[in-house]
Amino acid sequence: MTQGISEQSEYKQSLNHQLTTKLSKLCQGFSLDLDKQLKRIESQNYSTNTLINANKLIDQHLVARNNQLKISHSALNNILQQLTLLAPDSQTIGLRIEKLSNQLEKPIQSVWEYSIYLQQLLEVAMKIIPNQGASSAPQQPKVQMLAKELVASLNALDLRAELQQDAQDICNKLHQKLDIKVLIDLYKRVIKLLITTFEYEKNAAKAFLGILHSSLEGMAQALHSSIKSAEGANLLKEKLDLRVNHTLASLTLSVEEGLEPSEIKDRIMHNIEQLKKDLSAKTELEKQENRKLNLSLFQMKEKLKLITSEAQTFRSMLVTQSKINQLDSLTQIPNRSALENKVKSTYSQVVNHDISAWIIIADIDRFKSINDNFGHNAGDKCLQVVALTLQNTIPEESFIARYGGEEFVGILENVDAKQVTQICENIRIAIKNLAFKFKEQQIQLTISIGAAQFKRGEATEQTFEKADSCLYAAKRTSRDKVIVYECQ
């Protein structure tokens, strides 16, 4: 009996030692102090204080672990939200995200539970994020691509002056790092800009058409009144003509009846008086008719003057607005829309009058680093300074516009390849010699330029691509360089 109890006690001690050893290994690395206490317990070389100290350390680590699990739980939720935004329109992935989201609504109780959720999250992420390992060059993030497309669309818009600053602010934000929520907000702002522009143009046209309708209605009334008056006057004249004819017939009849001379005389005198009255009435009627006609014509003339004046005002507004719309709000030089019109007119001159014309594309070197290192205010100031320098450097009859971002496009007419090269070199040197400072910091500016000649029978897009390829050749080789297509 005693021997059985002794064996049972030894067996419990053996199990206790095995459990202690496994727990020691499981907890290894949490804390050096805890590792020491557990080693003593594992070696069975411990006192009551050792057990008490180990218990306190475990309690502390349990609190720390629970806090860490809360932080990890929050992190998992944030990652899941980001993956939800990037997820494609797939029912399978959507169901997995929804299931994981429901699971993460409950608190995480253990590290093992956390690791299971993390594994599930990684599996979802691997299905959403494309494998880019096979590609030699990393793909541009979808959000940045959309942002770039929106910038290009904004630069192509013709916006009123008071809206261009807002558009510029949107462009600046699109050049920064942004997530899908910010991009959606910027899309909403662009839509509001378009709605505001459409409303303004609609109201302006509506006001002009209202004035035009009112004036034309007044003219129609005056014309109608004039016609009615003329119809009434014609009836009276017909009556008078009948009376005159009747009087003349009476004169003839008096002579033919063989009356006494004195009677004939009296009757003739009476008829002559009647004739005078009728002719006088007819003359007065014609005068009245002329006065009414002149008044009606005067009224219509005034209405026409009003319409002409309003039309001229509206036309002037459109011309002014068109000029404003074709100016870049930041640099105050022509924008992309104005450039497109200039390219069309220049190509027409090349085709119809055989003039020599060139397109030049200039791009500020390392412009992104200026924005990154000095901020967007420095970038804006840089664009303004470069635009002014371009205007002052190219020949007076030439054209320069901001194409978008840090890129400028010029049109040179009646010049040959040698002259184009010299003009571009003058621009390059002028930009390089700029003493550009921002907040007392000197910033070295350089520019790369590509040029190509318009050719009859060649699409303007092809000419642009030639100049663009020259520009990027200059960028690839050394920057701060001019390459002209004909001189390669």
Whether 345 and 483 share a structural domain? yes
- pLDDT for 12 beyond 60: no
Q: Once rounded to an integer, what is the mean pLDDT over residues 115-140?
A: 57
3-state secondary structure (DSSP) of residue 405: coil
Q: How many domains does the chain have?
A: 3
Between 296 and 398, residue with greater pLDDT: 398
In a domain, residue 198? The reply is yes
Residues 155 and 20 in one domain: no
Taking residues 449-476, report their average pLDDT. 94
Q: Does residue 455 share a domain with residue 384?
A: yes
Contacts of 161 (CB under 8 A, 6+ apart): 324, 327, 329
The answer to the question of residue 136 being in a domain is no
From residue 129, how far is each of 100, 149, 185, 415 by CA, in Å? 17, 22, 24, 53
CA 180, CA 150: separation in Å to the nearest integer?
Answer: 13
Is residue 299 within 8 A of residue 220, CB to CB? The reply is no
Domain boundary among 325, 346, 363: 325
Looking at this protein, which amino acid is placed at residue 331?
A: T
Looking at residue 345, what is its pLDDT? 93
Residue owning tokens 């009728």: 278
Distance (Å, rounded) from C-alpha 279 to C-alpha 286? 10
What global pTM score does this model have?
Answer: 0.46
Radius of gyration over every alpha carbon of the chain, rounded to an integer in angstroms: 47
**b/e per residue 47-65 (b: at least 16 CB within 10 A):** eeebeebbeebbeeeeeee
**Residue given tokens 């663009």 in the structure block:** 468
pLDDT in tens, 300-353: 777 677 767 776 776 776 666 666 668 888 898 999 888 999 999 999 999 999
Indicate which CATH number applies to the domain containing 382. 3.30.70.270
pLDDT at 137 over 60: no
> Which class for 331: exposed (0-12), middle (13-18), buried (19 or more C-beta within 10 A)?
buried
Same domain, 252 and 341: no
In a domain, 208, yes or no: yes
Q: Helix, strand, coil shares of the chain as percentages rounded to 5?
A: 75, 10, 20
Please check whether residues 358 and 237 belong to one and the same domain.
Answer: no
Position 331 in a domain: no
Burial category of 453 from C-beta neighbours within 10 Å (exposed 0-12, middle 13-18, buried 19 and up): buried
Q: Is residue 271 part of a domain?
A: yes
Residue 330 in any domain: the answer is no
One domain, residues 120 and 261: no
| 107 and 160 belong to one structural domain | no
Please indicate, yes or no, whether residues 123 and 153 belong to a single structural domain of this protein.
no
Of 325, 353, 385, which closes a domain? 325
**214 CB-near residues (< 8 Å, 6+ apart):** none
User: Within 10 A of 108 (CB to CB), how many other CB atoms are there?
Assistant: 19
Q: Is position 37 within any domain?
A: yes
Which carries the bigger pLDDT value, residue 105 or residue 455? 455
Same domain flag for 233 and 175: yes
Residue-number span of the structural domain to which 238 is assigned: 141-325
Under a CB-based contact definition with an 8 Å cutoff, are residues 364 and 405 in contact? no
Considering the domain architecture, whether residues 290 and 153 belong to the same structural domain is answered as: yes
Same domain, residue pair 383 and 451: yes
Residue 150 lies in a domain: yes
Which comes out higher in pLDDT, residue 324 or 219?
A: 324
Please report the DSSP string for 358-388 in residue order. Answer: EEEEEEETTHHHHHHHH-HHHHHHHHHHHHH
> Torsions phi, psi of 212, nearest 5?
-60, -45
**Residues of 369-380 as b/e, b for ≥16 C-beta within 10 angstroms?**
ebbeebebebbe
For position 139, what pLDDT does the model report?
A: 39
Among 128, 157, 183, the domain-final residue is: 128
Query: In this model, does residue 428 exceed pLDDT 60?
Result: yes
CB 377 within 8 Å of CB 366: no
Q: How confident is the model at residue 46 (pLDDT cuts 50, 70, 90)?
A: low
- Cβ(449)–Cβ(474) below 8 Å: yes
So what's the pLDDT on residue 471? 94
pLDDT at 140: 45
Same domain (yes/no): 93, 146: no
